Amino acid sequence: MPLAPMLLLFAAAVSAQTYEIRPAPDSRFAFEVFKTGLLGGKKHLFLFERYSGTLRHDAAAPEKSSVDLTVDVASLVCKDTWIDEKDLKKVMAEAFAAHMLDPGKHPTIRFVSKSVARRAEGGFDVQGTLTIKGQDLPSTVAVTLESRPDGTLRLAGKSEVRLKDYGLKPPSAALGAIGTKNEMAVDFSVTAWRK
């Protein structure tokens, strides 16, 4: 092979770096579930304490980057401050019930990217497959990326998940006067370390 094409191939290989995504003190991976009816305006805040992933980042061509992230469902913790401890336990029991996340049968949530596109207002739209409770559905996540002086990358993003699309059925209370919106917000800010 002539030298010029070889150098181009080498440059392309060097520009893409592999990073490990893992929990850190300043990181957060959250689900926000919004209430309706008598509790309209309130939300349940769930944080996942364990997750891991691989980011393949191409700084020269971010559109060629990819990510594969897996979340440990059993690491879910409810961080609500507007309910008492007794109700907090009930909320956690419901979150782990068969009609919701059911970690006994479905221990992980996974997102695998398929394409990355620049957003006009900055950041990227990352399209891929989100798997929750055995259901694989297309999902788009709006992501911003920050390179830090210590060599790590900071990824922050948001997406919306329709609970019914994944067979998630949160209960209602007070004869239906307290319910849950079908749209759940996914919000994260995580750190990636170069391997």
Spatial separation of the C-alpha atoms in residues 127 and 146, rounded to whole Å: 19
Q: Tens digits of per-residue pLDDT, 14-28?
A: 578 999 999 999 999
Q: Tens digits of per-residue pLDDT, 60-92?
A: 999 999 999 999 999 999 999 999 999 999 999
Task: Of 22-31, 118-127, 176-185, give the lowest mean pLDDT range.
Answer: 176-185
Domain boundaries of the chain, sorted by first residue: 16-194
Neighbouring C-alpha atoms within 13 Å toward the C-beta of 99:
8
Q: Looking at residue 10, what is its pLDDT? A: 44
pLDDT band at 174 (very low <50, low <70, confident <90, very high): low
Overall average pLDDT of the 42-48 stretch:
96
In this prediction the pTM is: 0.87
Residue 175 has pLDDT above 70, yes or no: no
Residue 6 has pLDDT above 90, yes or no: no
CA angle 52, 55, 60 (to 5 degrees): 165
Overall average pLDDT of the 86-102 stretch:
94
pLDDT band at 38 (very low <50, low <70, confident <90, very high): confident
Q: 16-194: what CATH class?
A: mainly beta
Overall average pLDDT of the 115-133 stretch:
95
DSSP state string for the chain: --HHHHHHHHHHHHHEEEEEEE--TT-EEEEEEEEEETTTT-EEEEEES-EEEEEEEESS-GGG-EEEEEEEGGGEEE--SSS-HHHHHHHHHHHTSTTTT-TTT--EEEEEEEEEEE-TTSSEEEEEEEEETTEEEEEEEEEEEEE-TTS-EEEEEEEEEEGGGGT-----BTTTTEEEEEEEEEEEEEEEEE-
Q: Looking at residue 156, what is its pLDDT? A: 97
Overall average pLDDT of the 130-139 stretch:
97
Residue 32 has pLDDT above 80, yes or no: yes
